[in-house]
């Protein structure tokens, strides 16, 4: 058994570094409960740099719980469009309605945990950052930092296993007097210094406590077995009629729920499929989709599929589409309006 990390010295080094190194993120420079909640939802599985423009636009459109609660779901999804993991947007919308209906928002991690879209990480983040509750957050950054501090080569096939593995250590190291600052400092360290590739160990404020860093092997931790990507080919249909485009809305349980996309060929078995207009790639978790968009003609009688609907051109910008389909629809719309120009509508 190795010597435990001396928690007081560790906290002092970490918090001293964080005070001078923290990025001036908008939810830090102008903090509030609502802004913290929105930032945590947006940052789930999404890099901060990607979140920033969405966060700014979101705050313009939905400045507080009440305005978000009052919005239509389609409007909410449209604002989230391009961020991915759209269940986050639907859950955040439901959460806003729940909070708006309360006398006062919850103030403990356990209460927040019961709200939609709030798991162990987000409950701990909100409770510690906003309400000063002494609960540690264990996200991807923290797992990486702790695995390197202890040079722990345990393989973690899932993040859940890693969270359980490090729960005790995370609690022991947490600064109970400044849990919000401490938690953000750990994540900031993982995001800016203790990064996955080529960590900056020479600049690390806790390098004297780090077993992996001192032996020059930080990049070897944590050990995460990888999963192969599966390739899938799909044909989607471009069907225009009377200035409207035929789109399909995501199913009740499937992915891209309540977002619109170009309909799959299987959705319209009777359609007459014509020329190939465009092929594009998109990744969804461990699937790599290649989608081939063909011009097509609708069958004389449309199937009674309630997920299908004709969307007039002028309404396309106000409905939620998936990110790739937004780009493809815009380009193809311009292309067909130009009478099918010769040039490539999708310059790389």
Partner DNA sequence: AATACGGGGCA
Partner DNA sequence: TGCCCAGTATT
Active site residues: 40
- Binders of DNA among 306-325, rule CB under 7 A? 322-324
Residue 345 in contact with DNA, rule: CB under 7 A: no
Rule CB under 7 A: choose which of 46, 75, 303, 309 binds DNA: 46
Looking at 155, 157, 274, 312, which residue binds DNA (CB under 7 A)?
157
Q: Which part of the chain contacts DNA (CB under 7 A), choosing from 67-75, 100-108, 212-220, 222-230?
A: 222-230
The site string for DNA over 113-132 (x = CB under 7 A, - otherwise) reads ---xxxxxxxx-x-------
Residue for token pair 């901060």:
48
The reply on whether position 280 binds DNA by CB under 7 A is no
Closer by beta carbon to DNA, 123 or else 329 = 123
C-beta of 188 vs 298, nearer to DNA: 188
Nearest-approach distance from CB 342 to DNA, in angstroms: 26
Residues across the chain: 348
Asked if 84 touches DNA (CB under 7 A), the answer is yes
Which of 10, 18, 39, 109: binder of DNA (CB under 7 A)?
39
- Among the listed ranges 7-15, 59-67, 159-167, 333-341, the one in contact with DNA (CB under 7 A) is 159-167
Quote the CA–CA distance of 51 and 41 in Å, as a whole number: 10
Closer residue to DNA in complex, CB, 125/239? 125
Q: Out of 77, 184, 238, 271, name the contact with DNA by CB under 7 A.
A: 184
Q: Judged by CB under 7 A, does residue 181 bind DNA?
A: no
| DSSP per-residue codes, 99-148 | HHTSSS---SHHHHHTSTT--HHHHHHHHHHHH--------HHHHHHHHH
User: Using CB under 7 A, which of 168, 171, 286, 313 touches DNA?
Assistant: 286
Among 10, 17, 27, 182, binds DNA (CB under 7 A): 27
Tokens of 259: 């977002």
Instruction: Give the whole-angstrom CA distance, residue 264 versus residue 47.
Output: 31
- Total residues interacting with DNA, rule: CB under 7 A: 63
SS3 content of the chain, % helix, strand, coil (to 5): 45, 15, 35
Residue in 1, 340, 4 with CA at minimum distance from that of residue 171: 4
Confirm or reject binding of residue 155 to DNA (CB under 7 A). no
C-alpha 92/C-alpha 27 separation (Å) is: 17
Residue 139 in contact with DNA, rule: CB under 7 A: yes
Say which residues have a Cβ less than 8 Å from residue 318's Cβ, sequence separation at least 6: 74, 78
Residue from 265, 282, 292, 297 in contact with DNA (CB under 7 A): 282
Q: Are 152 and 222 in contact (CB under 8 A)?
A: yes
262 binds DNA (CB under 7 A): no
Site membership for DNA, residue 147 (CB under 7 A): no
> Residue 197, exposed/middle/buried by CB under 10 A (0-12, 13-18, 19+)?
exposed
SS (H, E, C) 267-312: HCCCCEEEEEEEEEEEEECCEEEEEEEEEEECCCCCCCCCCEEEEE
Interaction between residue 45 and DNA (CB under 7 A)? yes
Decide if residue 168 touches DNA (CB under 7 A): no
* 315 contacts: CB under 8 Å, gap ≥ 6: none
**Hey, is 321 helix, strand or coil?**
strand
Residue 253 binds DNA (CB under 7 A): yes
Considering beta carbons, is residue 242 or 266 the nearer one to DNA? 266
C-beta of residue 58 within 8 angstroms of C-beta of residue 37: no
Closest approach of DNA to the CB of residue 54, in Å: 10
Minimal distance, residue 322 CB to DNA, in Å: 3
43 or 277: CB nearest DNA: 43
Minimum CB separation of residue 67 from DNA in Å reads 22
């Amino acid at each position: 058994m190795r010597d435990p990390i001396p928690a007081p010295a560790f906290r002092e080094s970490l918090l001293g570094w964080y005070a001078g190194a923290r990025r001036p993120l908008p939810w830090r420079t102008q903090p509030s409960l609502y802004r913290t909640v929105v930032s945590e939802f947006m940052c789930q599985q999404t890099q901060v740099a990607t979140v920033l423009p969405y966060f700014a636009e979101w705050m313009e459109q939905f400045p507080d719980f009440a305005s978000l609660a009052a919005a239509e779901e389609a409007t909410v999804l449209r604002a989230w469009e391009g961020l991915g993991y759209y269940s986050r947007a639907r859950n955040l919308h439901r959460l806003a309605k729940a909070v708006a209906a309360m006398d006062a928002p919850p103030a403990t991690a356990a209460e927040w945990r019961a709200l939609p879209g709030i798991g162990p990480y987000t409950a701990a983040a909100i409770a510690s950052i906003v309400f000063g509750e002494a609960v540690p957050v264990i996200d991807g950054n923290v797992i990486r930092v702790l695995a390197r501090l202890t040079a722990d080569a345990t393989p973690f096939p899932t993040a859940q296993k890693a969270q359980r593995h490090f729960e005790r250590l995370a609690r022991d190291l947490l600064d109970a007097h400044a849990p919000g600052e401490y938690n953000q400092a750990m994540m900031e360290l993982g995001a800016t210094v203790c990064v996955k590739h080529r960590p900056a160990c020479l600049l690390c404020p806790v390098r004297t406590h780090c077993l992996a860093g001192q032996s020059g092997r930080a990049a070897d931790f944590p050990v995460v077995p990888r999963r192969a990507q599966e390739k899938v080919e799909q044909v989607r249909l471009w069907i225009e009629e009377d200035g409207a485009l035929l789109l399909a809305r995501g199913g009740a349980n499937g992915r891209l729920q309540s977002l619109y996309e170009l309909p799959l060929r299987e959705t319209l078995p009777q359609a007459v499929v014509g020329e190939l207009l465009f092929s594009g790639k998109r990744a969804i978790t461990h699937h790599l989709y290649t989608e081939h968009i063909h011009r097509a003609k609708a069958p004389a009688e449309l199937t009674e599929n309630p997920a299908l609907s004709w969307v007039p051109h002028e309404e396309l910008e106000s409905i939620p589409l998936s990110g790739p389909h937004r780009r493809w629809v815009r380009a193809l719309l311009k292309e067909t309006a130009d009478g099918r120009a010769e040039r490539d509508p999708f310059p790389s």
